[in-house]
Chain A
Amino acid sequence: MITVFERPKSLTPAKTHYCPGCTHGIIHRLVAEVIDELDVREDTIGIAPVGCSVLAYNYFNLDMQEAAHGRAPAVATGIKRVHPDKVVFTYQGDGDLAAIGTAEIIHAAARGEKITTIFVNNAIYGMTGGQMAPTTLVGQEATTAPSGRNAETQGYPVRMSEILATIQGTAYIARVSVHNPQEVAKAKKAIKKAFQIQLERKGFALVEVLSTCPTNWGLTPLAAMKWLQENMIPYYPLGVQKTPEEVEV
């Protein structure tokens, strides 16, 4: 018998604290698989965010550093500049990256920091109990938008990948999803590319992963996957927003 699939070495044996069906687990695993495949586990430093994935340092079998809320790209900048030969990545949610950390991510991208960011977008604040995030869709219910987000008073959701793709310092920006096995395979490919861009010192790389929050969306894990597909993808189109070829032109 040949083993086709097993736990990647870059994950610790710890059980995660995530809710049943939370896609953070899938995305953690994809990052770990990519680090294993690129054989850079001993040279990788991860930056954990604030949010549901605040305890990511317990789950990645890597050197990890916790950052203040939203400041992961700033911490990553410091680490990468002191250790330019290390692989440095941040793992951030939408409340972390698109709200309190907007300045840090935009300026890290503008400076063209040679880091990789995994941006997990589930359109809500998970850890604090389902408040409206900058990425919450119009009409989507949240505890702070009980009758659904109203564009008139609460504005429109932010498309971070598109914003970051306009910045010259970014080399690779892609948006992927994890709602079925095929999309999981594509997501892994994009995450691998984002790490390779860093290894080739081409510039800032970010992968936005559309994710679910069954608990705060009030759906079963399977219904949440369906909701993601039907509601998030039309507003947050999948695909590569920017590649290094565009940078070189």
Chain B
Amino acid sequence: MLRVEFDEERCKGCELCAAACPQRIIVMAPRLNTMGFHPATVTEQERCISCAFCARMCPDVVITVRKEEKKRG
């Protein structure tokens, strides 16, 4: 499962998520969605720290964020 997943069909390409990302890994994809916007996407999933700043700034609730469960030991 992806750490940060974008529901690209909802994205309006406003870039607020990209500006909020402390890892600077969010980019606007060159492809267009059916609304005609370049959707936000992350290719370097392994660099995501699951802080969810992007999701908190997204006005269109495009983003789902997950993190790995800590192993208890």
Contact = CB atoms under 8 A, between A and B. Distances in A.
Interface of A: 1-8, 11, 15-16, 18-26, 29, 180-181, 184-185, 214, 220-222, 225
Interface string B1-40: 1010000001011111001100000000000000001000
A7 B55 CA distance: 9
Contacts, number: 78
A227 to B, nearest CB: 14
Interface of B: 1, 3, 10, 12-16, 19-20, 37, 50, 52-53, 55-61, 63-69
Contact of B66 (A2, A18, A22): A2
Nearest to B20: A181
Given A18-B59, A222-B19, 20 more contacts: A1-B67, A2-B67, A3-B66, A4-B52, A5-B64, A5-B65, A6-B64, A6-B65, A18-B60, A21-B16, A24-B59, A25-B58, A25-B60, A29-B59, A29-B61, A180-B57, A181-B57, A221-B15, A222-B16, A225-B19
Nearest to B61: A7
8 contacts: A1-B66, A5-B52, A7-B64, A15-B60, A26-B59, A181-B56, A214-B14, A220-B15
